[in-house]
Amino acid sequence: MPKRIFVLNGHPADNSLNHALADSYVKAARAAGHDVRLTHLHDLSFDMDYEFAGYKKSKPLEPALETVMSDLEWCEHFVLATPMWWGSLPAKLKGLFDRTLLPGRAFDTRVPPGSMPKPMLGGRTGRVLLTSDSPKWFLSLMYRGAMLHQLRGQILKFIGIKPAKISYFAGASHPKPGQPEKWLRQAGTLGGQAA
């Protein structure tokens, strides 16, 4: 069954492993008959700073962010390709989430006192293609998988995207010979399966 898939390459540079992983996923997904939209973070122009404390003031979304939000609302499956920098997301990608995932479209704060906001993008699944220099065991042991919890729970699940599975590609800056090609094939396999 064809799926509507939105792929966001969250690397701020125009030439990266994340770009290649996203492209490999998209190529295979389209070949399998899925309807795919692809956005590269480096192509987007927007103010990364929300600026306000709380959500009482509203800062209009730039056209690029409005398109990202519309694509999230349109999709059935969301794929994010991102590097891990300093244990977290690149600043521009974090800024995209800060500016775009707002109450009224991504989550609903009109809930009883003491309750968690209600996700507004439910019914969608997710996949993160995460590149890192740190091996996964090190991330788990030393940092208790903080970024994995942030991505899966504090961002994607919070707005309703679940399950969100993570594919981890470690040793990204200095991969062993043949490793990048293997990773690209893995991304392609996931794309063909819309997984």
**What residues have CB less than 8 Å from 108, skipping those under 6 apart?**
117, 118, 119, 120
Q: What beta strand segments (E) does 53-185 contain?
A: 77-83, 107-108, 118-119, 124-132, 161-170
Q: Give the number of domains in the chain.
A: 1
Could you give phi then psi for residue 106, rounded to 5 degrees?
Answer: -100, -35
Indicate the angle between helix axes 91-100 and 63-74, nearest 10 degrees. 70
Domain interval for residue 158? 4-193
We report the CATH number of the domain holding residue 132 as 3.40.50.360
Task: Please list the pLDDT of the chain residue by residue as tens digits (195 residues).
Answer: 999 999 999 999 999 999 999 999 999 999 999 999 999 999 999 999 988 877 888 889 999 999 999 999 999 999 999 999 998 999 999 999 999 999 999 999 999 999 999 999 999 999 999 999 988 887 787 778 889 999 999 999 999 999 999 999 999 999 999 999 999 999 999 999 999
Full-model pTM: 0.95
